[in-house]
Amino acid sequence: MFYNEEVRYFEIDQNNVIKIIKTDDTVVSFQLYDVGIFYEDMNTTITRQLIKGVLEDYNLEPPTTFPWWVSFLPYVIVIVIMVAVWWMFISRATKGSGTGGGLGGGLGGRMNSFSKARTKLGSDEKKKVYFSDVAGADEEKQELQEVVEFLKNPSKFSELGARIPKGVLLVGAPGTGKTLLAKAVAGESGVPFYSISGSDFVEMYVGVGASRVRDLFETAKKTAPCIIFIDEIDAV
């Protein structure tokens, strides 16, 4: 139809049934599967036959067309929902971590603080602890006194070729004064004291724990010499 023959008139009703009147007054009717496809395929042919004067008239409302981007709307909606769920999850996970105000500040602050080490700085003069504040643990205090001497006068030992201890492992049951001893070393040495829990280095997100370790040591390097106290190291 239309491609190989000339049509004088045609119309399409509400049921997508097309009625064709050929130039020899023959009438043909059949069901259209999709009026939109019919219009796209036959639009040029219809226009050409109208110009030639063969097609006198027709009754066809051009189908409603939508912008090209409408087809992408379902995908955009799905992406927006996924981002919203992710945002809610991250917001709850980082709640209370200290973030900036506003949408931009909130997002940047949350994501930035999420990978920051949650250290507690105990360098306040009023909160300093000394060996005299620790009851008992005489042997431990005597051994840690060497660390204090290293921190107070590192050049004295480096000239002799000695190396400052990289760390001290305090082992004991909860409540035996491990944290207090570490604070006392910082107080006697007059250096900053950073406290963090080993569980803060273990996260469900890959790379967050390692990022916090790097952030902790970068902060410590800026205030070196200092003491980093990692509580519950067995959690790492």
Compute how many other C-beta atoms are within 10 angstroms of the C-beta atom of residue 170.
17
Could you state, in order of their start, the residue ranges of all structural domains in the chain? 7-59, 68-114, 120-235
pLDDT band at 227 (very low <50, low <70, confident <90, very high): confident
Give me the half-sphere count of Cα atoms (radius 13 Å) on the Cβ side of residue 102. 3
User: 174 — phi, psi (to 5°)?
Assistant: -60, 140
Distance CA(105)–CA(101), nearest Å, equals 5
- The better pLDDT of the pair 37, 110 is held by 37
Asked if pLDDT for residue 56 goes beyond 60, the answer is: yes
> Could you tell me what percent of the chain has a pLDDT over 90?
4
Compute how many other C-beta atoms are within 10 angstroms of the C-beta atom of residue 196.
19
> Could you tell me what percent of the chain has a pLDDT over 70?
60
CA-based nearest residue to 140, from 181, 179, 176, 175: 181
User: Across residues 119-126, what is the average pLDDT?
Assistant: 54
Asked if pLDDT for residue 16 goes beyond 70, the answer is: no
pLDDT tens, residue by residue, 139-152: 888 888 888 888 88
Asked if pLDDT for residue 102 goes beyond 50, the answer is: no
pLDDT band at 92 (very low <50, low <70, confident <90, very high): confident
pLDDT tens, residue by residue, 179-205: 888 888 888 888 888 888 777 767 656
Asked if pLDDT for residue 35 goes beyond 80, the answer is: no
pLDDT of residue 205: 60
Asked if pLDDT for residue 21 goes beyond 70, the answer is: no
Q: What is the DSSP string of the chain?
A: --SSS-EEEEEE-TTSEEEEEETT--EEEEE-S-HHHHHHHHHHHHHHHHHHT---EEE-PPPP---GGGGGHHHHHHHHHHHHHHHHHHHHHTTTS---SSHHHHHHHHHHHHTS---EE---GGG---GGGS-S-HHHHHHHHHHHHHHH-HHHHHTTT----S-------TTSSHHHHHHHHHHHHT--EEEEEGGGG--SSTTHHHHHHHHHHHHHHHT-S-EEEEESGGG-
Distance CA(145)–CA(167), nearest Å, equals 14
C-beta of residue 18 within 8 angstroms of C-beta of residue 4? no
Q: Which residues does 120 contact at the CB level (< 8 Å), separation at least 6?
A: 194, 195, 196
pLDDT of residue 193: 86
Asked if pLDDT for residue 33 goes beyond 80, the answer is: no
Asked if pLDDT for residue 112 goes beyond 60, the answer is: no
CATH for the stretch 120-235: 3.40.50.300
pLDDT of residue 78: 93
